[in-house]
């Protein structure tokens, strides 16, 4: 009887202890989350595109990208309203004037000019007086884009070129690899993978990404010393990539998470583009404290406005490798039919 009582009181102590531990942990997590949110908030205010300065060529070009994209959508419509696109056209023209005044021309300044030229050439616009006026204005800008912009025909045949005979062979053979051949992946391959990944969609085609790459031993070890998921294999990673997203591309408060989303999408594309080239990767999280984020920025040349999304270990697989199986959860657990309530 006495032993029962003692056992019960021991359990009581343990349960109370566990409760107080989880309470302390809860308080700790609440406070550190707050510090993290505050850090992100301050960075968004400091580096987000809401800092209105159209003379900043990068910021202006992100804004140009939004209007360019709107006008490209208008050009691609099979059925267009007569007045469709004019508001965007004037917005683009205004920013082009700023480009001319400021004397700095970016990629989307040049793209804007070409898209506007195509817009006023549309059969429904070509004879309008406002198109003629706009044409005269465009002639004042002495820069041109080397790329082709606007809309284009895209047949079912073109579309099917991307269709894989056996998609499972591609998707189900990608595994995170943590030990690689002792061989650096050359710049040509790295650049090719990045170019492939750049086809990733982004909000309004703003492409806010910036990719930092190194194969320098000292730089790699500096960067990896702040990352907490590479301890057992980090020193042998041949190439290291840091994926970032530029906060300047995001203007409104509603977009405060958009850089994580666009950056995350690019990261996945990069992993798949490397996989398509026979090169292995392992994503390395950057779920970090503000303190570590600042320390890393002090150690290397990552721009203040570039938010670190994640890192990627990159390298050639060995002849024989060992990987985690990392089995996927049952499909039913992650899939539902969306229904009205
Ligand atoms: C955003 C992200 C961060 C990750 N961080 C790490 C990391 O720090 N260290 C690590 O060894 N693996 C990391 N991984 C790899 C995951 O553990 C791995 O993708 C997962 O277990 C599924 O395995 P698979 O990639 O082989 O399919 C990360 C993956 C993602 C997507």
Which whole number is the average pLDDT over 156-178?
A: 98
**Rg of the chain, C-alpha, whole Å:** 26
pLDDT for position 239:
98
251 alpha carbon, distance to own chain's centre: 16
Residue 219: both structure tokens together = 């730089």
Site to substitute for ligand 1 among 168, 171, 229, 237, most atoms within 8 A of C-beta:
229
Query: Ligand 1 pocket by C-beta < 6 Å: which residues?
Result: 175-176, 178, 229-230, 282-285, 310, 323-324, 326
Average pLDDT over residues 18-34: 88
pLDDT confidence of residue 205? 97
Q: With 70 as the cut, is the pLDDT of residue 319 above it?
A: yes
Secondary structure element (H or E) that encloses residue 20, with its range: helix 2-47
Compute the average pLDDT of residues 187-200: 98
Q: How would residue 20 be classed by pLDDT, with cut points 50, 70 and 90?
A: confident
d(CA 139, CA 142): 7
Closest CA to 249 of 211, 308, 303, 305: 305
Quickly state the pLDDT bin for 11 (edges 50, 70, 90): confident
Sign of CA dihedral 51, 264, 297, 57: negative
CB within 8 A of 54, min separation 6: which ones? Answer: 60, 63, 95, 98, 102
The pLDDT of residue 3 is 72
List the chain domain ranges.
1-47, 57-138, 159-315
- DSSP labels for 34-85? HHHHHHHHHHHHHHSTTS--TTSHHHHHHHHHHHHHHHHHHHH-SS--TTTT
Q: Comparing 6 with 259, which gets the higher pLDDT?
A: 259
Give yes or no for residue 21 having a pLDDT over 70. yes
Atom 9 in ligand 1: residue holding the nearest Cα:
229
Mean pLDDT of the chain: 94
Q: What's the pLDDT band for 1 if we cut at 50, 70, 90?
A: low
- Residue % of the chain over a pLDDT of 90: 86
Query: What is d(CA 7, CA 93) in angstroms, rounded to the nearest whole number?
Result: 80
Digit-coded pLDDT (tens) for 105-144: 999 999 999 999 999 999 999 999 999 999 999 999 999 9
Q: How far apart are CA 66 and CA 71, in angstroms?
A: 9
More confident residue, 323 or 13: 323
Q: How confident is the model at residue 317 (pLDDT cuts 50, 70, 90)?
A: very high
12/334: higher pLDDT: 334
Question: Which of 3.40.50.970, 3.40.50.1820, 3.40.109.10, 3.40.1010.10 is the CATH number of 159-315?
Answer: 3.40.109.10
Strand, helix or coil for residue 210: strand
Tell me the average pLDDT across 189-212: 98
Residue nearest to atom 11 of ligand 1 (CA): 229
Higher-confidence residue of 70 and 19: namely 70
Model confidence band, residue 2 (pLDDT cutoffs 50, 70, 90): low
User: What does the DSSP assignment read for 234-266?
Assistant: GGG-SEEEEEEEEGGG--SGGGTTHHHHHHHHH
pLDDT at position 178 over 60: yes
**Which residue, by CA, sits nearest to atom 6 of ligand 1?**
284
Centre of ligand 1 from the C-alpha of residue 161, in Å: 30
Rounded to the nearest angstrom, the distance between the alpha carbon of 282 and the centre of ligand 1 is 6
Question: How remote is the CA of residue 281 from the centroid of ligand 1, in Å?
Answer: 10
CA of 284 to the centre of ligand 1 (A): 6
Instruction: Give pLDDT tens digits for 249-307.
Output: 999 999 999 999 999 999 999 999 999 999 999 999 999 999 999 999 999 999 999 99
Using the predicted structure, report yes or no on whether residue 216 has a pLDDT greater than 60: yes
pLDDT, tens digit, 9 for 90 and up, residues 40-91: 999 999 999 877 777 899 999 999 999 999 999 999 988 887 788 999 999 9
């Amino acid at each position: 009887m006495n032993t029962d009582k003692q056992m019960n009181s021991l359990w009581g102590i343990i349960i109370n202890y566990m409760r107080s531990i989880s309470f302390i942990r809860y308080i700790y997590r609440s406070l550190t989350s707050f510090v993290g949110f505050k850090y992100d908030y301050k960075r968004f205010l400091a580096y987000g595109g809401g800092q209105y300065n159209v003379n900043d060529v990068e910021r202006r070009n992100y804004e140009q990208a939004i209007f360019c994209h709107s006008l490209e959508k208008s050009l691609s419509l099979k059925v267009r309203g007569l007045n469709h696109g004019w508001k965007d056209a004037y917005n683009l023209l205004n920013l082009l004037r700023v480009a001319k005044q400021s004397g700095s021309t970016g990629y989307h300044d040049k793209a804007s000019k070409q898209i506007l030229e195509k817009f006023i050439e549309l059969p429904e616009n070509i004879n309008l007086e406002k198109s003629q006026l706009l044409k005269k204005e465009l002639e004042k800008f002495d820069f041109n884009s080397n790329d082709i912009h606007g809309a284009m025909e895209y047949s079912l045949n073109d579309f099917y070129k991307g269709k894989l005979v056996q998609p499972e062979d591609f998707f189900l053979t990608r595994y995170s690899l943590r030990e690689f051949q002792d061989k650096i992946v050359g710049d040509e391959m790295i650049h090719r993978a990045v170019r492939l990944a750049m086809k990733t969609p982004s909000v309004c085609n703003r492409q806010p990404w910036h990719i930092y790459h190194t194969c320098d031993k000292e730089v790699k070890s500096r960067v990896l010393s702040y990352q907490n998921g590479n301890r057992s294999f980090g020193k042998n990673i041949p190439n290291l990539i840091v994926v970032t997203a530029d906060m300047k591309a995001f203007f409104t408060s509603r977009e405060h998470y958009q850089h994580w989303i666009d950056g995350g999408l690019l990261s996945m594309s990069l992993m798949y583009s490397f996989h398509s080239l026979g090169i292995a990767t392992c994503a390395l999280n950057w779920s970090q404290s503000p303190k570590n984020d600042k320390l890393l920025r002090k150690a290397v040349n990552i721009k203040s406005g570039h938010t670190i999304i994640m890192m990627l270990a990159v390298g050639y697989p060995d002849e024989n490798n060992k990987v985690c199986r990392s089995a996927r959860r049952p499909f039913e657990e992650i899939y539902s039919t969306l229904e009205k309530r």
